[in-house]
Amino acid sequence: MTQPTLSSRLAGFSAGFRLETVPDEVRTRARHLILDALGIAIACTQWDFARVTLAGLRELAGPGGDVPVIGHGESLPLRDAVAMNALLVHGLDYDDTHPAGVIHATTSVLPAALGLATRLGSSGRDLLAAYILGMETTTRLGAAARGGFHQVGFHPTGLIGTFGCTLAAARLLGLDEERTVQAQGIALSFASGSLEFLNDGAWTKRLHPGWAGAAGITAATLAKNGFVGTRAAYEGRFGLYNSHLGALAEKCDLDLVAAGLGTVWETNNVAIKPVPACHFTHACADAASLLHRDWNNAPVQRIVARVPAGVMKTVCEPIENKRRPANAYEAQFSIPYSVATGLRFGRFTLDALEPAAYQDPQTLALAALVECEADPKADFPRYYGGEVIVELADGRTLRHSEPINRGAATRPISNSDIVAKFHDNAARAVDRAQADRILHAVLSLEQGSARDLAQLLGVRARLENKQ
C-alpha cells in the first residue's frame, strides 16, 4: 500500500466537509474575520492604486460582468472581480495573518469564495463553509514551510493561497475527491508570488491574492470538466515545497498539513491586525508607541529595534530604503519608519500612509537613527515580537519589549474589537447606515445568500483616490 498524497488527504477533507461539523465558536470567528476583511476593502476604495487596477481590469474585461466590485457600483467577469476584490482586501496591508503560516489567508480565500458563490447563486452557509475550508487548508500548507518561503523570495499569500482557493472552489463546485486531487495538481502550475516588490515599493504584492483566487477557480473548474493534473502537488520531486524551497525543503514539516483537520481549527488562530502595516512591524510599532509619553521629544542619540531574524530581510533590509520610504508600501514594510512613527505620535494608523506622513522631516530624522538587530530569543514564527531601545542625549535609556504581538493567538483581538475596527475603516468610504447593513449581512451570513451580500458590498462608496 502506498501512502496517500497530501493532495488526496486534502481532497477527502474537502469533499466531505460540512458546515454543521464546525463548532459555533469557529463559525462566529470566521464571520468576524470576513467582516474585518470587508471593512478594509471598503476603506481601500479611496486609494489611487485601486482606481488604476480597476481601470486595467475593466479594459481587459470589456463590457459586462456578473460579480460586483466592492464599493464601486459596477460588476466585472468572475475572475476579474475576484482579482479586484482581493486587491481591495489586501491593498492596505491591514488584513489578517496566520502567524505559523506567515500568510494572509482571508485575502485570497474570501474574494474567491464570494465571487464563485455569487456566480453559482450559493447560500450564505455554502459560502461560509467554503471560506472556512479554504482557511483551514491555506494556513496549514503555509505553516508546513516553517517560514521558508520568505527566505527564498516567495510571497506565500499568493503562492499558497492558490491551493486554498482551489479547495474552496472545489467545495462550491461540488467536486468529488478524485476531481479535487486533479484540481490541486493543476493549481501547482498556476501558483506564484515574488517578494521583489520589497526592493522598490512596487504594487505587485497587492495583486498576489487575487491572482491566487482566480487561479484556484480556474484549476477547480478545469478539473470539474476532466482536465488532468499531477497527483503529488505538494511532496512530489518537483512539487510545491521541493521546487520552491530547494535545500530549505528539508526543514518542512508536511505532517502539519493534515494534522488535526476537522478537530483543531486554525481559523481560531488567525491574527487580526491592529496596525495597518506588515505584521512583522507591529510589535516594534507598539513598543515605540508605548514609549511616546516617556520620550516627550527629548533629543535622541540612537534607537535600536530588535526583531526576529526571520523578518530582517522583509522589514529591515536594505536599511537605507527602510529609513526613507519612498511610498506608502515601503512605509508599511519598514521597521525604522514604524518605530519613528510610533515614538513620535504614540500610534500607527492609516494616516501614517499619507505622503505628508512618510515624507515628514521630523519623522525621517528619527527613522535615520533606528538600527535593526536580530533577537536570538524571539519565538518566531509563533509570535512576531519586537523590542525598542531609545538612547537619549541626557544619558537615559528607554526600552519596551513586546515579545507577543497584539493579535496573536495568546493575545487575541476580540470580536467586539473587530466590529469597532470595521466601523473605523468603513467610515472612510460609506455612511453608518450602509456600514450597519453590511455588518448585519455578514454576521447573519448563514441565513442569507452570497449574491445578496455581494450586491450590498457593490454599492458605490465615496471615492477620493489617495496616493
pLDDT tens per residue across span 348-402 = 999 999 999 999 999 999 999 999 999 999 999 889 999 999 999 999 999 999 9
The confidence score (pLDDT) of residue 282 equals 96
CB-hemisphere CA count at 13 Å for 314?
26
Identity of the residue numbered 312: M
The confidence score (pLDDT) of residue 1 equals 41
User: d(Cα 223, Cα 182) in Å, to the nearest integer?
Assistant: 6
- Provide the β-strand partners of residue 387: 306, 401
Average pLDDT over residues 197-205: 87
Average pLDDT over residues 289-295: 97
DSSP label at residue 398:
E
Lowest mean pLDDT among 2-11, 74-83, 291-300: 2-11
pLDDT confidence bin for 298, thresholds 50/70/90:
very high
Residue pLDDT, tens place only, 27-38:
999 999 999 999
pLDDT confidence bin for 106, thresholds 50/70/90:
very high
pLDDT confidence bin for 254, thresholds 50/70/90:
very high
Lowest mean pLDDT among 9-13, 69-73, 381-385: 381-385
Average pLDDT over residues 390-418: 94
pLDDT confidence bin for 464, thresholds 50/70/90:
low
* Grid cell locating 101: 503560516
User: d(Cα 144, Cα 10) in Å, to the nearest integer?
Assistant: 14
The confidence score (pLDDT) of residue 200 equals 82
Q: How far is CA 318 from CA 5, 112, 188, 312, 322, in A?
A: 40, 34, 32, 9, 6
Predicted confidence (pLDDT) at residue 460 exceeds the cutoff of 60: yes
Give percent of the chain above pLDDT 70.
99
Assign residue 279 a region: left if phi > 0, alpha if psi is -120 to 50, beta otherwise? Answer: alpha
Predicted confidence (pLDDT) at residue 467 exceeds the cutoff of 60: no
